Structure 1
């Protein structure tokens, strides 16, 4: 039997039967493998995990397992990551209250979780008030203890001149070295003024600014001198008769 078909995406006749896309047993449409691979890649660029069938009359979604060989290992891992991220955003979650950990933790108890254990640092905390576990205290009482601890911690941070990251607000300590530091969240900022920077210098550092202005001025002078000598040499050349 003739198993050729016309792809409804690229509108090209396909004669090889193994070039026809199969979405497990969910749905069957005349799409070629190449078009489907490109379609999936575009959807993943937009962070779409539940990819719908491209057929306008179909309400099914593509099965990632059946598409694994089609998209290749790298794109399949990306697809898995997008699905995981979308699942996490739909669940209640919090971060470990230990400032040295801050691991992402999901609520798998339907909002009833209270005493929980961080899978990363193994410390117990309260999922309701998002504070270290307060045995013998209610959440409101624990908040009062936290406020006092925060005051003490703030005094220590000020005495040691620690700086907060402008993005995640975690404290960062600079022992020595360059004043442009990078937080674990990926944001770079100036340890002098605390502002986020996108270059390896900050306008608050007058010495750096003066140095950059001097280099910029020398560069302009060098370019102008080069142009001057080029025109001078051109004018000194006598055209042959």
Structure 2
């Protein structure tokens, strides 16, 4: 006479932070912040972040999810994992350089910088990291891309229209609806009225 199978104990299951379903612990991926996502939710979350028009990494508690934590849900050789690694490297780079070849424009990681020369691994064109033009041995003349943010007329228009700058990447952002809690494409969240980081030094009563 065989005994009926025993039910799994409650402690062998965990509530996924995303779908809130009770999932077997063996399917839970534990993140750096201590929360756990089930493998299916985490896989779809990463795929969604890669497909966005403006990439933002998969996060939990405002911490980027490292590729190393995804090895159980995505193969290292998969297109999604390769794309996620590349986009995450670009997103986290403090100083970004893009290929001077107008037909390419690929992001050039710091590992491919040599002095003031950045070598594109896509089209093999060398870019000057100082002026963003094609690499040259002589002194830089003028930036290839005119810095509109430094233009006095633009600054006057920005102040007149009430546009705000992102405190991290300095992009100019216009709010056309919603609350004053802004989320920039660089990942920074700030207050539209005072222009400060929303979670660290935001102290105005604008919300």
TM-score range, shorter chain: 0.3 to 0.5
Q: Hey, which of these two has a bigger chunk of strand by percent? A: 2
Q: With a CA cutoff of 8 Å and minimum separation of 6, indicate the structure with the bigger relative contact order.
A: 2
- Please give the TM-score of this superposition, normalised by the length of structure 1: 0.38
